[in-house]
Chain A
């Protein structure tokens, strides 16, 4: 039972490049989330999807887009990466609380 799987685990991009972070869950959860975590800032919600076919902005959505491809998959896209988007990105899912987290993607923008 894999839980929440994120790919890739590490990525280095140049400013202006695009990138899609992938997330898949095998727990049949309705809701999925993308967070970023920066030192001293805790986890900040970027986008979430309460159910298949719906997406909503979180606290820090600027510079990102998401796609809820199906119930299992929720992707996060950076169209034009900026150094300020250097962070660790976590995907999470749940139906009722609590949320289960993936292992994270460590993303560096040069």
Chain B
């Protein structure tokens, strides 16, 4: 079992809608969680990080963390065609190295 699991998608949403991405992790000791966005042929770029249970909002992005259920989610409000990308969830397990999920591909259709 991979340490971090994501639905591979593709997730297709209409422009202006909310895109909801989910991620689960296996190591209960994980303390830090990150969402990276990766455009095709480009490197991952950090868009959100969350350490505490609950919600964290940054512009159109909201990260949600539930440590009891071991899941992390990312909401993208008012989705734009420029949000079309692969979103990588990452966790820091007890050995302090980032563990990445396989990524969820999001397509925002105009």
Chain A interfacial positions (CB closer than 8 Å to B): 33, 35, 40-45, 48, 58, 90, 97-104
Question: A103 and B32: CB pair below 8 A?
Answer: no
Question: A97 and B42: CB pair below 8 A?
Answer: no
Q: Which residue of A lies closest to B89 (CB)?
A: A42
Question: A98 and B42: CB pair below 8 A?
Answer: no
Question: B46 and A98: CB pair below 8 A?
Answer: yes
| B-side contacts of A43, CB under 8 Å | 44, 88, 100
Would A98 and B100 be within 8 Å (CB), given that A40-B8, A90-B44, A103-B43 are in contact? no
Would A48 and B45 be within 8 Å (CB), given that A42-B88, A97-B32, A98-B34 are in contact? no
Our pick among B88, B92, B102, B103 for the contact of A97 (Cβ within 8 Å) is: B92
Chain B interfacial positions (CB closer than 8 Å to A): 4, 8, 32, 34, 42-46, 49, 88, 92, 97-103
Question: A101 and B8: CB pair below 8 A?
Answer: no
| A-side contacts of B44, CB under 8 Å | 43, 90, 101
- CB<8 Å pairs between A and B, sample of 21: A33-B97, A40-B8, A40-B102, A42-B103, A43-B100, A44-B100, A45-B98, A45-B99, A58-B97, A90-B44, A97-B32, A97-B34, A97-B49, A97-B92, A97-B98, A98-B46, A99-B98, A101-B44, A102-B43, A103-B42, A104-B43
| A-side contacts of B45, CB under 8 Å | 101
**Nearest 9 pairs of A and B residues by beta carbon:** A42-B102, A101-B43, A43-B100, A42-B100, A98-B46, A103-B43, A101-B44, A104-B43, A42-B103
Q: Which residue of B lies closest to A106 (CB)?
A: B41
CA distance A48 to B97 in the complex (A): 9
Question: A45 and B102: CB pair below 8 A?
Answer: no
| A-side contacts of B103, CB under 8 Å | 42
Distance in angstroms from B58 CB to nearest chain A CB is: 13
Q: Which residue of A lies closest to B2 (CB)?
A: A42
Which of B92, B98, B101 has the largest number of chain A CB atoms within 10 A? B98
